[in-house]
């Protein structure tokens, strides 16, 4: 019997879809250890109509309530992925995961919200927003938007205001790389930072020196290095460190908070550490690929295998992964994203003769929760409460949707996972839910398993089965002036009075 809820997308495995739970909208999760970022306790969680109504021990309910036993398991806020690219047109092609398949994969991996990057159309923010509104019609999970800024004029400046005040966007990404495509210069970066600051929006940067990358790429091609290893060799960590430092210094000059996306290297991480030590508000986001992989894959003799690992900034040498984990465990870096940007083998093969044409991007939206658990909690580097902070709560705070999202509290959205620390996971392209034909984390296994995912009060993942329906995801508007802006005006006032003091002295002396 055909399944009316299934998406007929090419390459999509229909077997993974089922009928969404039509069971009661009342749920009781019994006996689990409820974990929030600050505290954990054994308690029941009662949900009605998509909202958490109560969190306390021994809740009694009637028989119209679906009861889930979570004894011996962790009950945690669903993951929030701050960095994804679904249905993204990039490098002459389009990602295979759209807002249905990518979100279905996310839900199967315990992520219940993501924030995707709207790309303007010919520089128009409004046209970009409208295009993404269409793309998200088939959503089966809640999502928010960041927006990229790719050119600068009065219209863009006004549109930024519109996006923040009316459209629910509170963050803008500036690409310091991808010369000739998305890249912007320092002039635009400064204008953009100033505008972000006036709106209470968060400025985000893709930090690589795009001019130097362009030069590095030419150098490799001239040397006859055309394979995927040329990708790593052409854009070394020093170029990520330089751009990170530059963005941080310009943000300091403007005094606006800064968010560095996909921190891939020790070089970039140390710039963030230094700035934070001096009191600057800089957020650093490592991504799963950077935390658990190393660049050796790019030297794999099989092009198809090597090309899978091409993303920017590149996955670095062994050692960077461990250092990024350490930075995450000590608070130098604050949350984990994926940069899920899925291109299959056919698309990656565009660059068979020239690594510059390999579409950049790797997967992770489905794997993040398991890999962060295994890498950070199982290894003893962070606590279970920290895990919730890194995968969910901090993202909700930074993008100003806490405690609606990122918490298991009365009044929060019922985005919940039941996590069994004694079960195990294994990642394979055969069993994943992305439309990708391969997985950069193929064969990785470990302890811990998302056994149940509840999104907006619906059980969407249980017994290794997905039950999702297009159109059930909601757009989450994110208001400006998150906690990162608290007190900024006082710092500005102190700066201004420090400028005026010597001027006053000069006047009274004359």
- Interacting residues toward ligand URP by CB under 6 A: 85, 206, 262, 311-312, 339, 341, 360-361
Among the residue ranges 11-19, 380-388, 448-456, 476-484, the one whose residues contact Zn ion (CB under 5 A): 11-19
**What residue is closest to Zn ion based on CB?**
6
DSSP for residue 392: I
Query: What sign does the dihedral 155-158-164-167 (CA atoms) show?
Result: negative
- If the CB atoms of residues 315 and 468 are measured against ligand URP, the closer one turns out to be 315
* Cα 445 versus chain centre, distance: 22
User: Strand, helix or coil at 7?
Assistant: coil
For the chain, the helix, strand and coil percentages under 3-state DSSP, each to the nearest 5: 35, 20, 40
Closest distance between ligand URP and the C-beta of residue 175, in Å?
Answer: 7
Question: How many CB atoms are closer than 10 A to CB 97?
Answer: 32
Site for Zn ion in 196-225 (CB under 5 A): 206
> Which is nearer to Zn ion, 206 or 397 (by Cβ)?
206
* Binding site partner of 110, from ligand URP, Zn ion, none, Cβ cut-off 5-8 A by kind: none
**In the complex with ligand URP, which residue's Cβ is closer, 377 or 398?**
398
Residues in the chain: 510
Q: Which does 320 bind (CB under 5 to 8 A by kind): Zn ion, ligand URP, none?
A: none
**Residue 360 C-beta: closest distance to ligand URP, Å:** 3
51 close to 92: Cβ distance less than 8 angstroms: no
Task: Supply the DSSP string of 33-91, one letter for each residue.
Answer: EEE-SS-EEEEEEEEETTEEEEEESS----TTSEEEE-TTSEEEEPEEEEEE-SS-EET
Helices (H) and strands (E) in the chain, counts: 16, 18
Residue 105 in contact with Zn ion, rule: CB under 5 A: no
Nearer to Zn ion by Cβ, of 6 and 390: the residue is: 6
Q: Which residues have CB under 8 Å from 27's CB, separation 6+? A: 46, 47, 48, 65, 66, 67, 68, 414, 454, 457, 459
Cβ 91 to ligand URP shortest distance, Å: 9
Which entry of ligand URP, Zn ion, none binds 360, CB below 5 to 8 A by partner kind? ligand URP
The Cβ of residue 180 has, within 10 Å, a number of other Cβ atoms equal to 7
| Nearest approach, Cβ of residue 100 and Zn ion (Å) | 9
Residue 104, interface with Zn ion (CB under 5 A)? no
Q: What would the x/- binding string for Zn ion be over residues 150 to 189, using CB under 5 A?
A: ----------------------------------------
By beta carbon distance, the residue nearest ligand URP is 360
Burial 101-125 (b: 16+ CB within 10 A, else e): bbbbbbbbbbbbbbbbbbbbbeebb
DSSP 3-state of 253: helix
Residue 389 interacting entry, from Zn ion, ligand URP, none, C-beta within 5 to 8 Å by type: none
Q: Verify binding: residue 14, Zn ion, rule CB under 5 A.
A: yes
Smallest gap from Cβ 411 to ligand URP, in A, equals 34
- Shortest Å distance, C-beta 391 to Zn ion: 18
**What six digits make up the tokens of 488?**
């900024």
Nearer to ligand URP, 335 or 414 (CB): 335
Q: Read off the tokens for 64.
A: 């119209």
Which among ligand URP, Zn ion, none contacts residue 311 (Cβ within 5 to 8 A by kind)?
A: ligand URP
List binders of Zn ion among 330-359 (CB under 5 A): 339
Which of Zn ion, ligand URP, none binds 400 (CB below 5-8 Å, type-dependent)? none
- Smallest distance, Zn ion to C-beta of residue 229, A: 21
- Identify the residue whose tokens are 């004694």: 422
Least CB distance to ligand URP at residue 350 (A):
14
Strand partners, 226: none
> Rounded distance, CA 36 to CA 25, Å?
23
| 240 belongs to the binding site for Zn ion (CB under 5 A) | no
| Eight-state DSSP code of residue 383 | -
Taking the C-alpha atoms of residue 104 and residue 415, their distance in angstroms, rounded to an integer, is 14
Which does residue 6 bind out of Zn ion, ligand URP, none, counting CB within 5 to 8 angstroms by kind? Zn ion
- Which C-beta is closer to ligand URP: that of 237 or that of 450? 237
Complex with Zn ion: residue 407 or 468, whichever CB lies closer: 468
Based on the shown chain and the rule CB under 5 A, indicate whether residue 6 belongs to the binding site for Zn ion.
yes
Q: How far is the CB of 184 from ligand URP (least distance, A)?
A: 13
Query: Is 376 within 8 Å of 325 (Cβ atoms)?
Result: yes
Q: At what angle do helices 237-254 and 266-277 cross, to 10 degrees?
A: 20
Least separation in angstroms between residue 25's CB and Zn ion is 24
Separation between Cα atoms, residue 410 and residue 324, nearest integer Å: 34
- Interacting residue ranges for Zn ion, rule: CB under 5 A: 6, 14, 17, 206, 339
């Amino acid at each position: 019997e055909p399944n009316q809820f299934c998406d007929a997308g090419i390459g999509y495995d229909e077997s993974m879809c089922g009928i969404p739970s039509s069971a009661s909208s009342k749920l009781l999760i019994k006996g689990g250890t409820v974990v929030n970022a600050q505290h954990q306790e054994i308690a029941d969680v009662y949900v009605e109509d998509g909202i958490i109504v109560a969190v306390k021990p021994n809740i009694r309910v009637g028989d119209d309530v679906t009861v889930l036993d979570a004894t011996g398991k962790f009950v945690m806020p669903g993951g929030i992925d701050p960095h994804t690219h679904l249905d993204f047109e990039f490098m002459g092609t389009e990602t295979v995961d759209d807002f249905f398949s990518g979100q279905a994969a996310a839900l199967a991996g315990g992520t219940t919200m993501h924030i995707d990057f709207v790309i303007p159309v010919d520089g128009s923010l409004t046209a970009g927003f409208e295009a993404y509104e269409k793309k998200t019609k088939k959503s089966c999970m809640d999502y928010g938007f960041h927006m990229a800024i790719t050119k600068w004029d009065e219209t863009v400046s006004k549109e930024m205001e519109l996006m923040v005040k009316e459209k629910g966007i509170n963050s803008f990404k500036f690409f310091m790389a991808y010369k000739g495509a998305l890249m912007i210069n320092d002039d635009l970066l400064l204008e953009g930072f100033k505008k972000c600051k006036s709106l209470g929006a968060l400025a985000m940067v893709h930090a690589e020196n795009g001019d130097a990358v362009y030069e590095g790429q030419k150098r490799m091609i001239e040397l006859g290095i055309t394979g995927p290893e040329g990708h790593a060799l052409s854009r070394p960590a020093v170029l990520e460190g330089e751009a990170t430092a530059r963005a941080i210094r310009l943000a300091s000059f403007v005094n606006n908070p800064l968010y560095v996306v996909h921190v891939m290297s020790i070089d970039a991480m140390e710039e963030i550490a230094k700035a934070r030590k001096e009191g600057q508000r800089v957020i650093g986001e490592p991504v799963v690929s950077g935390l658990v992989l190393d660049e050796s894959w790019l030297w794999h003799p099989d092009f198809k295998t090597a090309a899978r690992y091409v993303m920017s900034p590149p996955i670095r040498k062994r050692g960077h992964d461990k250092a990024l984990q350490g930075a995450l465990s000590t608070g130098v870096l604050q949350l984990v994203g994926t940069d899920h940007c899925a291109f299959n083998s056919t698309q990656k093969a565009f660059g068979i003769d020239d690594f510059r044409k390999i579409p950049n991007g790797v997967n992770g939206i489905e794997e993040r929760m398991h890999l962060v658990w295994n890498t950070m909690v199982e290894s003893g580097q962070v606590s279970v409460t920290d895990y919730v902070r890194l995968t969910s709560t901090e993202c909700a705070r930074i993008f100003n949707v806490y405690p609606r999202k990122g918490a298991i509290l009365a009044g929060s959205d019922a985005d919940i996972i039941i996590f069994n620390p004694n079960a195990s996971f294994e990642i394979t392209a055969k069993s994943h839910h992305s439309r990708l034909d391969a997985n950069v984390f193929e064969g990785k296994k470990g302890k811990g398993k998302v056994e149940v995912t509840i999104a907006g009060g619906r059980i969407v993942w249980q017994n290794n089965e997905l039950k999702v329906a297009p159109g059930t995801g909601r757009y989450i508007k994110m208001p400006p002036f998150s906690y990162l802006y608290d007190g900024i005006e006082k710092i500005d006032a102190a700066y201004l009075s420090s400028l005026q003091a010597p001027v006053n002295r000069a006047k009274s002396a004359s």
